[in-house]
Structure 1
């Protein structure tokens, strides 16, 4: 799985994260 990055601040995200741990931006996660 490729690393994902926050579209708001560019920080690397954990796989399956629902929000950015750095800036708190809500992410639309595929799957589930």
Structure 2
């Protein structure tokens, strides 16, 4: 499992449907 922190504006939500916003950051969980 890999956790990617993306400080972009909603970019993580596009490439990863299982991403969620946390304190303004996009937290992407790659299982």
TM-score by length of 1: 0.25
Q: Which has the higher helix share?
A: 2
Q: Compare CA radii of gyration and give the structure with the larger one.
A: 1
Q: Which has the higher contact order (CA 8 A, sep 6+)?
A: 2
Q: Which has the higher strand share?
A: 2
